Amino acid sequence: MTSRRLVLTRSAAVIGAASTGLLLPEIVRAQSAKVRVGLMLPYTGTFAQLGVAIENGFRMAIGEQGGKLGGREIEYFKVDDESDPSKGIENANKLVQRDKVDVLVGTVHSGVQMGIQKVARDTGVLSLIPNAGVHAATRSLCAPNVFRASFSNSQPTRALGKVMMDRGHKKAVWITWKYAAGDEAFEGFKEGYTAAGGTIIKELGLPFPQVEFQALLTEIAALKPDAVACFWAGGGAAKFIRDYAAAGLKDKIPLYGSGFLTEGVLQAAGPAADGIITTMHYSDSLPTPRNGQFRLNYAKTFKLQPDVYAVQGYDTGLLLIQGANAVKGDLTNKAVLYKSMEGAVIDSPRGKWTMSPSHNPIQDIYIRQVSANENKVIGVAAKALADSGVGCKMA
Ligand code: PHB
C-alpha cells in the first residue's frame, strides 16, 4: 500500500513536472536541496579588502535570517576573480557551469563585471551585483535576471561638482584609473561640475591597478587648479591619499573624490585623509538606529569597522532574502522572484532605497568629510538619485 501510494505520488509529480517543463530531480533540487550561492569577488590584489567586506556583509544579512534563504539551507562556492577582466568569463563559468550555482553574487571591478554580465545573459542565472558600477550592466546590457544593489559609476560623482563649486573651486583637475569605473565616474563629475559653472582644466590617469602617482602629482602642482577631484579605491586609494599629502599638496590644493576614496582606507591613510570631502551613498555617521545597529553587529562579528562595501554586501543579502521569501525558496519561480526584487524597498544602513526599472538603486547621496578616522556626514548632495538606465530594454 505504502509503495503504491509512493508510485502514485511520484507519477503525479512527474506529470506536474512535465507540465512546468521541469524533470523530477530538478524539482526536488529546486525545493529541498541547499541553495547554491556563488561568490565571485576579489580576494587578492588592490581590491582584496573590498571583496572580504562584501562577503562579510552578505553573510551577516543571511545570518540574521538564521542562515537560510526562503527556508532552505545554503551552500557557498567561492572564486577569487583577482579583479582581472581577462578571466571574467572563465571565472563566472566556474560558478555557473561547474558549480551550478542558483545565484551568482559578484563583483567589484567593472571590467570583470562585463564577463559576469555576458554569462548571466547567456545562461539566465540570477546575478546580483554588490559593487561594480559599470553603466552597461543596467543600461544597454540590462537583463531581467541581473540586479545591482550598489550604484552606477556616475551616481556618486554626479553631485560632487556642485559641492566643489559651492566651496568656490572654479577650476579643477580630474584624476583616476583609466578604465570603466574611472571613466564613468568622470562622466558624472563632468556633467555636474560644468553645469554648476566649473571648468575641468585637465584629465589625468593611470592604467588599473598601477599606483605610481609621482609624475602626476608633479603635474598637478604645476597646473595649480583650485581643487582636485578623483576616483580611486582600495589599496590604490590609501596610497594616493598618502602620496598627495607627502607631495605637499594637501594644504595647497583641496582633494575631493567619489566617496570610495575614503572607504575602508582610513586606518591605512592616517592623518593624510583628514578633511577630505567626498560624495557617496553611505556615511559611517548616518544617525539612524538602523545604521547604528548594523555597525555594532558588524564590528562585534568581524572585529572590523564596516564600510560602504560591507553595506552593499549586506544589502545584496537583503535583496536576495526578499526574493527568496517571496518564492518560499523556489528560485526557479523566476517571474515571482524578479517581481519581488523589482518592488523591493531595502531598509539599508545607508537609508531606504528602491530598485529602478533597469535594476539599479534609487538612493540618496551624502556629502561626507573625514574627521577622526570616520566619514562624517555633513550634508545631502542628492535625494533619491536614479541612474538614467538609458538604452535598457528588458527582454
Ligand atoms: C568598479 O570597478 O566598478 C569599482 C571598483 C571599486 C570601487 C567602485 C567601483 O570602489
Q: What is the reported pLDDT for 11?
A: 38
Domain extents in the chain:
4-151+287-359, 155-280+367-385
Digit-by-digit pLDDT tens for the chain (395 residues) are 333 343 333 334 434 444 445 555 555 555 569 999 999 999 999 999 999 999 999 999 999 999 999 999 999 999 999 999 999 999 999 999 999 999 999 999 999 999 999 999 999 999 999 999 999 999 999 999 999 999 999 999 999 999 999 999 999 999 999 999 999 999 999 999 999 999 999 999 999 999 999 999 999 999 999 999 999 999 999 999 999 999 999 999 999 999 999 999 999 999 999 999 999 999 999 999 999 999 999 999 999 999 999 999 999 999 999 999 999 999 999 999 999 999 999 999 999 999 999 999 999 999 999 999 999 999 999 999 999 999 999 97
How high is the pLDDT of residue 19?
A: 45
Kindly calculate the radius of gyration of the chain based on its CA atoms and give it in whole angstroms: 22
Stated as kind and residue range, the H or E segment containing 345 is strand 345-348
Cβ < 6 A, ligand 1 pocket: 108-110, 131-134, 153, 181, 233, 260
User: CA–CA separation, 113 vs 5, rounded Å?
Assistant: 49
The 3-state secondary structure of 307-318 reads CHHHHHHHHHHH
Matching CATH number, 155-280+367-385, of 3.30.1330.60, 2.60.40.1930, 3.40.50.300, 3.40.50.2300: 3.40.50.2300
Q: What is the predicted pLDDT for the residue at 395?
A: 73
Which pLDDT belongs to residue 166?
98
Domain 4-151+287-359 architecture = 3-Layer(aba) Sandwich (3.40)
Distance CA 50, CA 110 (A): 13
Task: Classify 217 as helix, strand or coil.
Answer: helix
Q: Report the alpha-carbon distance of residue 371 to residue 376 in Å, rounded.
A: 7
Three cell numbers, residue 333: 519561480
Q: What is the pLDDT of residue 24?
A: 55
Whole-angstrom distance, CA of residue 125 vs CA of residue 300? 34
Q: What is the pTM of this model?
A: 0.92
**pLDDT score for 5:** 40
Closest ligand 1 atom number to CA of residue 260: 10
Residue whose CA lies nearest to ligand 1 atom number 7: 233
The identity of residue 49, as a single letter, is Q
Given this chain, do its domains 4-151+287-359 and 155-280+367-385 carry the same CATH topology? yes
Q: Which atom of ligand 1 is nearest to the CA of 185?
A: 9
Distance between Cα 7 and ligand 1 center (Å): 54
* Residue 318 pLDDT: 98
Q: Whose CA is nearest to atom 8 of ligand 1?
A: 132
CB 375 within 8 A of CB 284: yes
Ligand 1 centroid to residue 279 C-alpha, Å: 14
